[in-house]
Amino acid sequence: MKTRKSKALFERAKTLIPGGVNSPVRAFKTVGGDPIFMSRAKGAYLYDEDDNAYIDLINSWGPMILGHANEEVEKAIFEAVKSSTSFGAPGRREVEIAELIIEMVPSIEKIRMVNSGTEATMSAIRLARGYTGKNKFIKFEGCYHGHGDAFLVAAGSGSATLGVPDSPGVTKGTSRDTLLAPYNDLKAIDRVLAENENEICAIIVEPVAGNMGCVLPNDDFLEGLRARCDVHQILLIFDEVMTGFRLSAGGAQELLGVKPDLTTFGKIIGGGLPVGAYGGSREIMNQIAPEGPIYQAGTLSGNPVAMAAGLTILRKLHEHPEIYKQVEQTTRQITTGITRILSRQGLRYTINQIGSMYSLFFTDQEVTNFETAKSTDAQLFGAYFRGMLSRGIYLAPSQFESLFISNVIQSAEVAAVLKATEEVLLEMHEKK
């Protein structure tokens, strides 16, 4: 596969941008080889600077659930840019997207737009602290809630990939208020609650974890968190940056039937443009400035072009909920196909899947938390990633990421993914 232009761009980028990338996980650090520079994308396909085509199974880490360069989203953006790219004043689309999200996600009565998932989760924790008057919060090992200081403690995603769970620059003072528990472990939660009685403002959780690879909640986990938050007057925050509008029109909370007090969003909500949001009950959200005393702001929050893109994709998903059935079926075709390949080759690796999210873990252990996710064989994952890339299948360049299937991946792409998987796994194990 020719990669001359990508290589040249990467050499230039490394002299200009830390690691040559604008987000660490893109650097291929743990999978070997150099990152591929993309020049365009359409539907299910990415095209790199050397004109190689790839079937995209990450879809920009989730946003592109309708595939790349969706005509309706593009049209809305083209229309919006004609009237300036930013007003710096409130606009009609912000009202419309707020109304639509509140209609789609029953636990939300008021919502505030921001510019990334990180901003959404940072603001949600500040709000929880201000609303309850308590400082500590609980997060789960392997869950990633963006790069806000307080979250970079045993975080997942890129920080796990880079093996720097507690990043330099995060002060002891900050991380002191971040309490940890293993995902799916209600007994550990009970211990943390007992040791910090009346000091905890919130439990923040990925209702389906995607940043240690795809890890599902045990049947009683989310309900168990809900019950404990009610007893201890703690806010339950669902970080649905990944799962919002991905697992159903109402997110993981609708699919799994547990209502949080606050929800954070990102990714799909902007249709590929930089958008985040956080929302919850009127009572809690009215604490946010200028209605209440808790400050949060943003120059480009509610940006008219980003709102146009977000509105279009959310309206499509709201009006066509059958899309969720479709992407789940496509994902199951891939995962059952891989399961058949594994058994044909006598391999015992683990696949976790829910809706249009899945991960193949190179471990024979059941993966239910960060500990078991870390039992995966990083060398094998790297070999799998490189083998698939060379066959034109673009996976997440880290074992600690979920894959995301779009509604434009059809049977031809499923067949190509399975053919490549069969070949790569054979090749990997012949070499072993």
If binding is defined by CB under 6 A, does position 303 make contact with ligand KE4? no
If binding is defined by CB under 6 A, does position 211 make contact with ligand KE4? yes
Exactly one of 117, 251, 302, 387 binds ligand KE4 (CB under 6 A); that residue is 117
If binding is defined by CB under 6 A, does position 241 make contact with ligand KE4? yes
If binding is defined by CB under 6 A, does position 157 make contact with ligand KE4? yes
Residue whose tokens read 């959200």: 285
d(CA 55, CA 193): 45
Helices 221-232 and 186-195: angle between axes, nearest 10 degrees: 20
If binding is defined by CB under 6 A, does position 261 make contact with ligand KE4? no
Q: Find the helix or strand (DSSP H, E) in which 209 lies.
A: none
Residue whose tokens read 């510019």: 115
d(CA 259, CA 78): 37
Q: For strand 38-42 and strand 393-394, is the pairing parallel, antiparallel, or unpaired?
A: unpaired
Number of other residues whose CB lies within 10 A of the CB of residue 364? 11
Scanning 31-39, 100-108, 235-243, 371-379 for contacts with ligand KE4 by CB under 6 A, the matching segment is: 235-243
If binding is defined by CB under 6 A, does position 401 make contact with ligand KE4? yes
| Total residues binding ligand KE4 (CB under 6 A) | 21
Q: Closest approach of Cβ 133 to ligand KE4, in Å?
A: 25
Number of other residues whose CB lies within 10 A of the CB of residue 66? 25
Q: Dihedral of CA 49/51/54/56: which sign?
A: positive
If binding is defined by CB under 6 A, does position 177 make contact with ligand KE4? no
**Closest of 204, 162, 164, 241 to residue 404, by C-alpha:** 241
If binding is defined by CB under 6 A, does position 23 make contact with ligand KE4? yes
Catalytic residues: 144, 239, 267
Scanning 138-146, 193-201, 218-226, 366-374 for contacts with ligand KE4 by CB under 6 A, the matching segment is: 138-146
If binding is defined by CB under 6 A, does position 382 make contact with ligand KE4? no
If binding is defined by CB under 6 A, does position 394 make contact with ligand KE4? no
Exactly one of 210, 272, 302, 382 binds ligand KE4 (CB under 6 A); that residue is 210
Beta carbons of 261 and 137 less than 8 angstroms apart: no
User: Interface with ligand KE4 by CB under 6 A: which residues?
Assistant: 23, 25, 61, 116-118, 121, 144-146, 157-158, 206, 210-211, 239, 241-242, 266, 276, 401
